[in-house]
Amino acid sequence: MEGSKVDSGKDLPLGLDAATEEEYTLQSKLLQEFTSISNIDKAWTFNSGSGINSQAMFLVSQPNLLANKRRKFILSTEISKESTASVNFRWAPFPVEMTGVSIIVPSPSGEKLLVVRNPENESPCQIEIWSSSQLEKEYHVPQSVHGSIYTDGWFEGISWNSDETLIAYAAEEPSPTKPTFNDLGYKKGGSPDKDFGSWKGQGDWEEDWGETYAGKRQPVLFVININSGEVQAVKGIGRSLSVGQVVWAPSIRGSDQYLVFVGWSSDTRKLGIKYCYNRPCALYAVRAPFYGAEGNTEDLKDGSTEDVPVVKLTPSISSAFFPRFSPDGKFLVFLSARSAVDSGAHSATNSLHRTEWATDGKLPSSLKIVDVINDACEPLIVVLHGGPHAVSVTSFSKSLAFLSSIGFNLLIVNYRGSLGFGEEALQSLPGKVGTQDVNDVLTAINHVKTPTIFLLGAKDLRVPISTGLQYARALKEKGVDVKTIVFPDDVHEIERPRSDFESFLNIGVWFKKYCK
């Protein structure tokens, strides 16, 4: 009998007893139900030809724990208004999975769909143009032209022109040429990659934009003609500008076509940009390739942008991003994080601004900018946002819904310095981080539980893993119950599907253990 108990114990993971393992089993099934809920990542609407109904397209994603990636789907619907003013949605029967797709962007009319498949190695970048029934065009852009197309929140910028023949986007610049050496020393003119009598040197070190951008090359603007497949880099932009969020300026027949984009200057150094709205940026304009004076998109004029400098449109404001033109092309609207830039707070109250856009085809040297202006219950989990200049919003959260479903009350604290409570409250936090915010949290609860679980990303450049490990070690030395889990491939935000699943499963089991 004793031997059978020993054999049973050997099958358990290290540090688990049978009761804890059963708790993991029960909670993992429940967490899986919440994890499998799909997210709507993006949505587009289109006017139909009849003018009565509209079409909508949704990009939906769902975690795939086994592959440790996210599945992406397209879901379409027809939107109609009845005589009673009610709105009806006629959904497609099933979503369509987009395997291996990095990003999709429909054309303004909704009649064409851009599909981008970024390579995972040095293979070409694949660009596809789809119609409603078939693949119309497929182009493979080699690494000698550009690398992966940017699809993240800051540098992402994919924009169709008005007649849907050109697409502007930001992509990694081509790999720089590296010096070649052989047994005689430096080799002039380089050599092929497969020359076994030589080797490639390291070349100059390039600074990046920090977390999640490590290893990525400089973002550069490109335009592709979808009829010919020709790709041209937008000329005239210096390497001191990292570019993104490009949009086409309104087209005026007989005039040059311009691109408006966001630029982040890096004359001295590049600071981390992830989660950081306090990095200065501005709107710029530059003449687009493929356009001559007559607006002929088929005739490429080499060097057509060489004589036109990049124009900084917003020199009077320290931050300008997410540019959008009004439907009639008369106004340019954008967001600004000038409060964060001017104060140094990572994120502050954003402001909305508007400016008139010339309709005569002439590019202005600058724009006149107008401003648009609890009783704690047991068991209780206190949820705090990071930042410190961020905010917990009243939106659905799968992870918090999971914690609530296993019996916990949630106290979600937005301490002074959080976004959305006025500039005075936000600016009260700098210089008091670690005291004012902590005191606000302690005011919201009447006691603090000491057992602590640490979830650490090994590739975190914002709060290095060594900090968390030292903290855990110090608590252990004081007799505090501590559990530490390290995710080797995660950064500050532990968001990889497997890591996110394992994190909240352990959080649930940990709190169940100490909050009985």
* pLDDT exceeds 50 at position 353: yes
* pLDDT exceeds 90 at position 253: no
pLDDT of residue 306: 46
The token duo for 142 is 């080699």
pLDDT of residue 6: 46
Looking at residues 294-305, what average pLDDT do you find? Answer: 40
Closest CA to 251 of 282, 288, 226, 303: 288
* pLDDT exceeds 80 at position 440: no
pLDDT of residue 369: 85
**Element holding 6 (H helix, E strand):** helix 2-10
* pLDDT exceeds 90 at position 486: yes
Question: Could you tell me the pLDDT band of residue 464, with boundaries at 50, 70 and 90?
Answer: confident
Looking at residues 403-428, what average pLDDT do you find? Answer: 84
Question: How many Cβ atoms from other residues are within 10 Å of residue 132's Cβ?
Answer: 8
Closest CA to 217 of 243, 185, 198, 245: 243
Question: Could you tell me the pLDDT band of residue 231, with boundaries at 50, 70 and 90?
Answer: very high
pLDDT of residue 296: 42
In this structure, what DSSP letter does residue 189 have? T
pLDDT of residue 491: 92
Geometric angle at alpha carbon 377, from 385 and 410, rounded to 5°: 30
- Give the integer Cα–Cα distance in Å for 97 and 507: 32
- Give the integer Cα–Cα distance in Å for 324 and 338: 18
Query: Lowest-confidence range among 194-208, 286-300, 392-406?
Result: 286-300
Tens of pLDDT, residue by residue over 30-43, are: 999 999 999 999 99
pLDDT of residue 261: 97
Question: Could you tell me the pLDDT band of residue 158, with boundaries at 50, 70 and 90?
Answer: very high
Tens of pLDDT, residue by residue over 114-123, are: 999 999 888 9
Question: Could you tell me the pLDDT band of residue 444, with boundaries at 50, 70 and 90?
Answer: low
Query: Could you check whether the bond before residue 379 is cis, i.e. omega within 30 degrees of 0?
Result: yes
pLDDT of residue 146: 95
Pairing assessment for the beta strands 87-91 and 69-81 based on DSSP bridges: antiparallel
Looking at residues 440-446, what average pLDDT do you find? Answer: 63
Looking at residues 397-418, what average pLDDT do you find? Answer: 85
Question: How many Cβ atoms from other residues are within 10 Å of residue 305's Cβ?
Answer: 23
Residue 48 pairs with which residues in a beta bridge? none
Quote the mean pLDDT of the chain. 84
In this structure, what DSSP letter does residue 250 have? P
Q: What are phi and psi of 96, to 5 degrees?
A: -115, 125
How far does Cα 275 stand from its chain's mean position?
10
Question: Could you tell me the pLDDT band of residue 49, with boundaries at 50, 70 and 90?
Answer: low
Q: What percent of the chain has pLDDT over 70?
A: 88
pLDDT of residue 15: 74
Tens of pLDDT, residue by residue over 121-143, are: 889 999 999 998 899 999 999 99
Q: What are phi and psi of 359, to 5 degrees?
A: -105, 10
- Give the integer Cα–Cα distance in Å for 375 and 445: 8
Looking at residues 237-241, what average pLDDT do you find? Answer: 91
- Give the integer Cα–Cα distance in Å for 185 and 196: 15
pLDDT of residue 304: 43
CA distances from 293 to 73, 160, 168, 361 (A): 41, 20, 19, 11
| Buried b / exposed e along 51-74 (16+ C-beta atoms within 10 A) | eeebbbbbbbbbbeeeeeebbbbb
As to burial, measured by CB atoms within 10 angstroms (0-12 exposed, 13-18 middle, 19+ buried), residue 289 is: buried
pLDDT of residue 68: 94
Query: Lowest-confidence range among 92-106, 369-383, 457-471?
Result: 369-383
As a dihedral over the C-alpha atoms of residue 21, residue 25, residue 31, residue 37, rounded to 10 degrees, the angle is 150
Ranked by mean pLDDT, which of 12-16, 213-217, 252-256, 297-301 comes out on top? 213-217
Q: What are phi and psi of 507, to 5 degrees?
A: -60, -45
Please measure the distance between the N-terminal and C-terminal CA atoms of the chain and give it in whole angstroms.
Answer: 32
Question: Could you tell me the pLDDT band of residue 445, with boundaries at 50, 70 and 90?
Answer: low
Closest CA to 492 of 512, 464, 450, 466: 464
SS3 content of the chain, % helix, strand, coil (to 5): 15, 30, 55
* pLDDT exceeds 50 at position 377: no
pTM here? 0.76
Looking at residues 164-185, what average pLDDT do you find? Answer: 87
In this structure, what DSSP letter does residue 149 have? B
pLDDT of residue 51: 63
- Give the integer Cα–Cα distance in Å for 63 and 70: 4
pLDDT of residue 302: 42
